[in-house]
Each structure stands twice: as C-alpha cells, then as structure tokens.
C-alpha cells in the first residue's frame, strides 16, 4: 500500500499533500488539547506497533504481497487524531530511512493509511460498540472496523493509481505514470485485501488489543492499571519475529521498480514499456533501502531496521512529551 514515487503525477502528489494539510493541522491541535503530557509517549508506542505490523509481509493472491497497517488499533487505543499523527510519523520514518513509500507520494500514503484507515476504522468501531454494549460487541466492532478500514484505504490507493493513465499521457498515448486504469487497479488492489490483508489486519488488531487490555488496561480505560513494561515486551517480541515478513516473496502490487515494471504480467500480457514518468522521475536514496544494511545478512538487516525504526519513534515521541507544557493545575495524569 506504500505508493512509491513516480507512480502518481507531481500534480496528484501535490493535491494529496494539500488535502492532508488541514487533516494534520486539526490532528496536531486536537492532540495538543486532548492528550496529556504523560500520554504523548503512548503515540510513539502506537507508531511502533504500526511500523512493525507493516514489516510483516504476507503473500497475496496474484503473486504479490501485502501487510497490516494498525491504524484502527491505534485509533481505538488512543483516538483517531492520535492515530493520524502516529501513523504519519511512522510513514515518514519508513520513507526517509527505508525507502518504503515515496517522498513526493508521502501525502497520498498518509491520506490512505494515516487518515482514511484510522478514521473509517474508528467510526465503524464506535458505531458498533455504542449499540452492542458487551465485550462481544466490542470485539465484533474491532474486527469489522479494522477489516473495512484497511480495505477502504486500499480502494483509495487503487483509485489514485487508476486515474493516472486517464489524466497523464505522452503524445503517443502511453501513460506517463501508473499505467493501469481503474478497471485493473481496483480489482488488483481490493480483491487481495478483501481475501487476505483485511483478515491479517483484523487478526493483528484483535490480538494486540486483547493483550493490552489484559496486561495494561489503563492504556485503554481511564483509572485502570497501566503496565508499559509488558507492552514493551510485546514490541520486542514483534521485532524478533519480523524476519517472518521476509518469507513472502514477490513485490506488492503498484510498488514495482522501474527495472521490473515492463515485465509485469496483467491478463497474461507483460506491460512492455517503462512509463516516462518512472524512467525520468524523482529519485531518492534512503539510508537503509528495503530494510537492509550493506554487508549484513538479510535477516540481521531486517531486525536491525526494526530496532532502529522503533527506537526512533519511541524516542521522538518521548522528546515531544518532555517539551509539551502541562496544563495549569494538571497533575499530568
């Protein structure tokens, strides 16, 4: 679901970035007003969960791969505005350090995964939970919310891909950017997410929510016990398990490099050309591309990338929490 650079036109990227500006502005304002100084580090923990969940690639029908995002999980735990900020920062670290998702396409990726996914997921969860007032209702809400949240986000990404060949062509009529129209991009993105990725997202969300509810209910409910050590233990366990994400082979749909897209098969036919926008487009060299470290085995590089990403996110939000001013009369609770 991470759209690389040069799949969307610069004008599309600019429009998606502009669409996110008011979302980020309101989210920052809401978090500053509603999240206390001591709870800001929880946004870093939420971002770490999202970062790690996105490292567990799973094979999808059609020979591609996908992953969970965790946006609905963070929205349920901390609220949708906090989720928007947490996933945005996780996506930023992924793009800058690991080349996962484009720099120009950052606004589009945030629109899909940091805005649409957590807000849709949160409101579905709230709608169900408010009407089925039981633990069973809570978990039904979590499953449906996380499943539909990621699927609607995937649909948005498919539409962004699919409008490119309609709007941007060279004089010969060849697409300049993503070459696949809506008739291809929508089923290619949505069917694998409906069949597999949505289920993985729901599974991750339910398991992690149930774990946190059991070991640290204060993270979810005001006044209950909060045991962050147990949550950090889960994060360490997930880091150790991230190499499982390497078992899935193949490239995620819409994330092919310029060196491989001409050979991608669609309906039994290869594309046969490299869109000019991809061939001559923006190129950014990340520090640890594809979660690898030069000279190290792939598994070691993947684990160290997970450690680095999680450490940056948790430390960053701890620093933000330390400089946030306490409200007058607040006991920082």
> Would you tell me how many other CB atoms lie within 10 Å of the CB of residue 302?
23
pLDDT of res. 333: 46
Structural domain contains residue 168: yes
pLDDT of res. 125: 97
Residue 223: both structure tokens together: 């006044």
pLDDT of res. 16: 98
Structural domain contains residue 101: yes
Residue 77: both structure tokens together: 């735990």
CA distance 267 to 273: 16
Domain that holds residue 114: 10-323
Structural domain contains residue 329: no
CA distance 237 to 138: 26
| Residue that is written with structure tokens 């990621």 in the block | 150
CA 323 to chain centre: 27
Structural domain contains residue 1: no
pLDDT of res. 328: 61
List alpha helices for 193-268, DSSP H: 198-215, 228-241
- Distances from the Cα of 331 to the Cαs of 37, 38, 325, in angstroms? 10, 10, 12
Q: How many domains does one find in the chain?
A: 1
CATH number at residue 261: 1.10.1760.20
Structural domain contains residue 28: yes
Structural domain contains residue 2: no
pLDDT (tens, 9 = 90+) of the chain, 333 residues, equals: 899 999 999 999 999 999 999 999 999 999 999 998 888 999 999 999 999 999 999 999 888 999 999 999 999 999 999 999 999 999 999 999 999 999 999 999 999 999 999 999 999 999 999 999 899 999 999 999 999 999 999 999 999 999 999 999 999 999 999 999 999 999 999 999 999 999 999 999 999 999 999 998 888 877 777 778 899 999 999 999 999 999 998 889 999 998 899 999 888 899 999 999 999 999 999 999 999 998 999 999 999 999 999 999 999 999 999 987 776 655 544
Judge residue 232's burial from the number of C-beta atoms within 10 Å of its C-beta, 0-12 exposed, 13-18 middle, 19 or more buried. Answer: middle
Residue 99 DSSP SS3: coil
**Residue among 251, 194, 203, 221 at smallest CA distance from 65:** 251
CA distance 209 to 142: 9
| Residue that is written with structure tokens 């999240």 in the block | 35
Cβ–Cβ under 8 Å, residues 181 and 162? yes
């Amino acid at each position: 679901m991470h759209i690389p650079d040069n799949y969307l036109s610069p004008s599309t990227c600019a429009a998606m970035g502009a669409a996110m500006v008011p979302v980020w502005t309101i989210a920052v304002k809401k978090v500053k007003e509603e999240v206390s100084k001591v709870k800001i580090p929880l946004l870093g923990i939420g971002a770490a969960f999202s970062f790690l969940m996105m490292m567990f690639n799973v094979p999808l029908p059609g020979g591609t791969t996908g992953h969970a995002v965790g946006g609905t999980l963070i929205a349920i735990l901390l609220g949708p505005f906090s989720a928007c900020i947490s996933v945005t920062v996780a996506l930023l670290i992924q793009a800058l350090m690991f080349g996962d998702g484009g720099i120009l396409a950052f606004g589009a990726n945030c629109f899909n995964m940091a805005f649409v996914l957590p807000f849709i997921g949160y409101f579905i969860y709230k709608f169900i939970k408010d009407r089925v007032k039981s633990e069973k209702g809570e978990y039904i809400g979590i499953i449906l919310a996380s499943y539909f949240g990621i699927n609607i986000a995937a649909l948005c990404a498919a539409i962004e891909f699919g409008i490119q060949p309609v709007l941007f062509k060279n004089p010969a009529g060849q697409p300049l950017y993503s070459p696949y129209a809506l008739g291809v991009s929508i089923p290619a993105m949505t069917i694998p997410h409906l069949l597999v990725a949505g289920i993985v997202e729901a599974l991750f969300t339910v398991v992690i929510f149930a774990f946190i509810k059991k070991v640290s209910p204060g993270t979810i409910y005001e006044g209950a016990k909060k045991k962050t050590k147990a949550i950090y233990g889960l994060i360490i366990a997930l880091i150790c398990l991230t190499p499982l994400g390497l078992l899935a082979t193949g490239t995620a749909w819409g994330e092919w490099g310029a060196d491989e897209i001409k050979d991608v098969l669609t309906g039994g036919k290869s594309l046969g050309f490299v869109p000019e926008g991809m061939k001559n487009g923006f190129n950014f060299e990340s520090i640890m591309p594809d979660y690898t470290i030069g000279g190290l085995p792939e598994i070691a590089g993947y684990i160290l990338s997970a450690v680095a990403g999680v450490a940056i996110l948790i430390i960053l939000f701890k620093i933000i929490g330390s400089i946030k001013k306490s409200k007058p009369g607040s006991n920082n609770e």
